[in-house]
């Protein structure tokens, strides 16, 4: 039964618009999070859900500062600086619901820097800005600097590394593979 103050066509149109809005928002949320769930096995996701429930003290589906403070308190750490709690919450770049929580753990567990950070590192070796680095120079760096690669590790890496026609490393494509995976592997 429709209320007399609203003509039948208007009520139907507003109901459809509301449904469309909800569907679009749901689709958008799924697009942003669908990859996250594929990063873990079902058992791992269940463990993360349990951990999330333990931290979400007020059971509202969002981890907030009071949830973190209470969790720390239960673990025996009573005086947590506000800045530390704020820094934790800012990692989520918005409200930390379960999907964001899972994404944060996925990033931490994968140990992969954001794509832009990796690109910036490669740009240091590309003063001309062409999007490539010299393979031989890069190989020498990998074998001699910081966390040194073994010759076998270098060859294994180069087997998956996109090269241009001159034999230089296409680091933009390599960064994509590092952060999103190699389509050939799937």
Q: Which of 47, 44, 71, 60 is nearest to 96 (CA)?
A: 60
What are 142-153's pLDDT values in tens digits?
Answer: 999 878 899 999
Q: Does the pLDDT of residue 100 top 70, yes or no?
A: yes
Q: Does the pLDDT of residue 2 top 80, yes or no?
A: no
Q: Does the pLDDT of residue 92 top 60, yes or no?
A: yes
Return d(Cα 112, Cα 114) in angstroms, integer.
Answer: 6
What are 107-152's pLDDT values in tens digits?
Answer: 777 665 677 888 888 998 898 899 999 999 999 999 998 788 999 9
Q: Does the pLDDT of residue 61 top 90, yes or no?
A: yes
Provide the β-strand partners of residue 170.
132
SS (H, E, C) 29-83: HHHHHHHHHHCCCHHHHHHHHHHHHHHCCCCCCCECHHHHHHHHHHCCCCCCCHH
Q: Does the pLDDT of residue 19 top 80, yes or no?
A: no
What pTM value is reported for the model? 0.44
Q: Does the pLDDT of residue 16 top 90, yes or no?
A: no
**H or E stretch covering 4:** none
Q: How many CB atoms lie within 10 A of CB 52?
A: 20
Mean pLDDT, the chain, rounded, equals 79
């Amino acid at each position: 039964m429709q209320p007399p103050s609203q003509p039948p066509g208007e009520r139907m149109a507003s109901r459809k618009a509301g449904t469309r809005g909800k569907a679009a928002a749901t689709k958008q949320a799924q697009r942003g999070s669908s990859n996250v769930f594929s990063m873990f096995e079902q058992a791992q996701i269940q463990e993360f859900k349990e951990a999330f429930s333990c931290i979400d003290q007020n059971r509202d589906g969002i981890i907030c500062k009071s949830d973190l403070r209470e969790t720390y308190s239960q673990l025996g750490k009573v005086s947590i600086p506000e800045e530390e709690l704020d820094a934790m919450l800012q990692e989520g770049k918005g409200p930390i619901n379960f999907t964001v929580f899972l994404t944060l753990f996925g990033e931490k567990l994968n140990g992969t820097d954001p794509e832009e950070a990796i690109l910036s590192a490669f740009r240091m070796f590309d003063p001309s800005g062409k999007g490539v680095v010299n393979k031989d120079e890069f190989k020498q760096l990998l074998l001699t600097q910081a966390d040194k690669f073994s010759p076998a590790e270098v060859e294994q890496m180069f087997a998956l590394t996109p090269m241009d026609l001159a034999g230089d490393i296409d680091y933009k494509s390599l960064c994509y593979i590092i952060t999103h995976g190699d389509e050939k592997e799937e």
